[in-house]
């Protein structure tokens, strides 16, 4: 059995890391709070994240079980194996917005099942924990690609919907977020956070930019 199949089949049975008290956060005050070190790869466990991406679909990621001991304040330990894995998905880009914590919030849909969505996030590369993670250049490249392709996010935090059928291949780290009514959220709260790479598959940028 291929490694990707083994990993995907095992998700419903994985053991969660024990929740621990949140550590004092270092980011700029308006960059983020909940699980912010893990979201930006500045935590002690970031070095354990596999650099060999696992291919998955949006629908498959939405089917993963939420860790039994999940705690939204756990900013010190990753829930293995999901939060120690890079996933690559082909996704229909639905829309994006800039959130109060300065993340680009991207709604991704399964091309085969457009009603199945999940969230991808691209932090602000100027946030101090992103800089400390050593991934600022990757994150900056993804953020720049989004804005050059689709234009700036709307002022006021509204969702900018993409026109046409633009499918991209995105690679990001698995992350479980608490459900709080997010636009496009998966039922288990799974996200790609952060998105580290993006490559166009079908469709064209409305701005005329050629997405790598």
Q: For residues 161 and 95, is the Cβ–Cβ distance under 8 A?
A: yes
Contact 192, 108 (CB under 8 A): yes
Q: What angle do CA 165, 171, 175 make, to 5 degrees?
A: 110
Token digits for 83?
């939060």
What is the bridge-based pairing of β-strands 54-55 and 113-122?
unpaired
Q: Can you give the pLDDT at residue 97?
A: 94
CA angle 43, 90, 187 (to 5 degrees): 65
pLDDT at residue 21, rounded to an integer: 38
Q: Could you tell me whether strands 104-110 and 113-122 are parallel, antiparallel, or unpaired per DSSP bridges?
A: antiparallel
* Residue 168 pLDDT: 96
CATH-assigned architecture of domain 27-202:
Beta Barrel (2.40)
- How far apart are the C-alpha atoms of 184 and 204, rounded to whole Å? 22
> Within a 10 A sphere around the Cβ of 143, how many other Cβ atoms?
20
DSSP result, 38-90: HHTT-SGGGGGS-SSPEE--HHHHHTSPPPTT--TT--S---TTGGG-EEEEE
- Average of per-residue pLDDT values in the chain: 87
Q: What is the pLDDT of residues 20-56, one digit of tens each?
A: 433 444 444 468 888 999 999 999 999 999 989 999 9
Say if strands 167-176 and 86-98 run parallel, antiparallel, or are unpaired. antiparallel
Q: What are phi and psi of 44, to 5 degrees?
A: -65, -25
Residue ranges of the chain whose pLDDT lies below 70: 1-30
**Dihedral over Cα of 58, 43, 137, 156: its sign:** positive
Residue boundaries of the structural domains of the chain: 27-202
pLDDT in tens, 63-79: 999 999 999 999 999 99
């Amino acid at each position: 059995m291929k490694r990707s199949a083994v990993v995907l089949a095992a998700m419903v049975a994985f053991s969660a890391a024990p929740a621990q008290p949140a550590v004092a956060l270092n980011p700029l005050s308006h960059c983020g709070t909940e699980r912010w070190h893990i979201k930006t790869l500045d935590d002690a466990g970031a070095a354990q994240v596999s650099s060999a991406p696992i291919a998955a679909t949006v629908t498959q990621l939405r089917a993963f079980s939420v860790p039994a001991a999940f705690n939204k304040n756990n900013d010190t330990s990753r829930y293995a194996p999901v939060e120690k894995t890079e996933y690559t998905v082909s996704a229909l880009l639905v829309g994006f917005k800039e959130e109060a914590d300065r993340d680009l919030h991207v709604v991704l849909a399964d091309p085969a099942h457009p009603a199945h969505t999940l969230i991808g996030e691209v932090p602000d590369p100027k946030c101090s924990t992103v800089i400390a993670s050593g991934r600022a250049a990757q994150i900056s490249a993804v953020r720049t690609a989004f804005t050059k392709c689709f234009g700036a996010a709307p002022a006021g935090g509204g969702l900018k919907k993409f026109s046409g059928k633009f499918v991209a291949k995105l690679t990001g780290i698995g992350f479980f977020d608490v459900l709080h009514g997010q636009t496009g959220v998966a039922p288990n709260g799974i996200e790609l956070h952060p998105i580290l790479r993006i490559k166009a598959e079908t469709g064209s940028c409305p701005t005329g930019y050629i997405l790598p």
